[in-house]
Amino acid sequence: MQIIQNPEKFKFTIDAFLLTGFVDPGPKDHLIDLGAGGGVLSLLIAGTKRIGSVCGLEIQTDLADMARRSVALNGLDTTIRIVDGDLRRLPSELKHNSFDYVIANPPFYPENKGVISQNQALAMAKFEISCKLEDLVVAAKRLVKGNGKFAMIFPSQRFTELLIVLHKNSLTPKRICFIHPKPGFKSNLVLIESRPGSGHGVEILSPIIVSDQYGEYSEMMNRIFQGEKIK
């Protein structure tokens, strides 16, 4: 797969591979990627999984254009469409309750935490400048079908905050997987899949260790790179 990148605007990380390994859409599912950026997550999912269609919503026009070029480069025009728009004011073409799967790899940090880059594209990718966590969850709830799923990756240190926002919007966690950078290190990321409505029972998956003690990717991480599901 060929993915167009511009380090000054967009450069993908292993987060996209982790979320791709975590989501499990059906062969006829319609999926939307909120904040698609340069399209890597949409491309990975459409390129490695049987799926009905993928829609990527992106607020930054230059990144949306970059994503479209990557889609065309990989011959995935019939599966993936990229939509310019703001998830806080969803475009009219994105109908409510119309997607089987909603996914997101959102900005990790609140706008008032840390040093924000002067580069607008990089700043928006890392910090909640164009949307807050609750904006994302509200949009996901509007778009997902009643029997659909919403999956995302987020910093573990904000896990409690995320649970509160999901509950406020009537989304119930059903699958959770904690990610650890190395053996013996605390979790730094969490994958979480939620569904609309209430219901008992949540599946806590075995944790993923990204690297071994020498800094090399773990066996499990290499299998995820090769397309293995996280289960």
Where residue 5 falls among pLDDT bands split at 50, 70, 90? confident
Beta strands (DSSP E) in the chain are 30-34, 53-58, 80-84, 99-104, 144-155, 171-180, 189-196, 203-204, 208-209
Percent of the chain surpassing pLDDT 70: 90
Write the CATH number for 150. Answer: 3.40.50.150
- Whether 66 shows a pLDDT value over 90: the answer reads yes
107 is written with which tokens? Answer: 């900005």
Please tell me the total count of domains within the chain. Answer: 1
Domain span at residue 190?
A: 14-225
138 contact partners, CB below 8 Å, separation of at least 6: 169
Closest residue by Cα to residue 43 from 64, 18, 10, 74: 74
In a domain, 160, yes or no: yes
In a domain, 5, yes or no: no
In a domain, 213, yes or no: yes
- Ranking 23-27, 128-132, 207-211, 214-218 by mean pLDDT, the lowest is 128-132
Beta strands (DSSP E) in 23-170 are 30-34, 53-58, 80-84, 99-104, 144-155
In a domain, 9, yes or no: no
Where residue 1 falls among pLDDT bands split at 50, 70, 90? confident
In a domain, 159, yes or no: yes
pTM of the predicted model, to two decimals?
0.92
User: How far is the C-alpha of 133 from the C-alpha of 162, rounded, in Å?
Assistant: 8
What pLDDT, in 10s, does the model give residues 99-138?
999 999 998 777 666 656 666 666 566 766 778 999 999 9
160 contact partners, CB below 8 Å, separation of at least 6: none
In a domain, 140, yes or no: yes
In a domain, 6, yes or no: no
In a domain, 3, yes or no: no
User: How far is the C-alpha of 213 from the C-alpha of 209, rounded, in Å?
Assistant: 10
Phi, psi of 66 (to 5 degrees): -60, -40
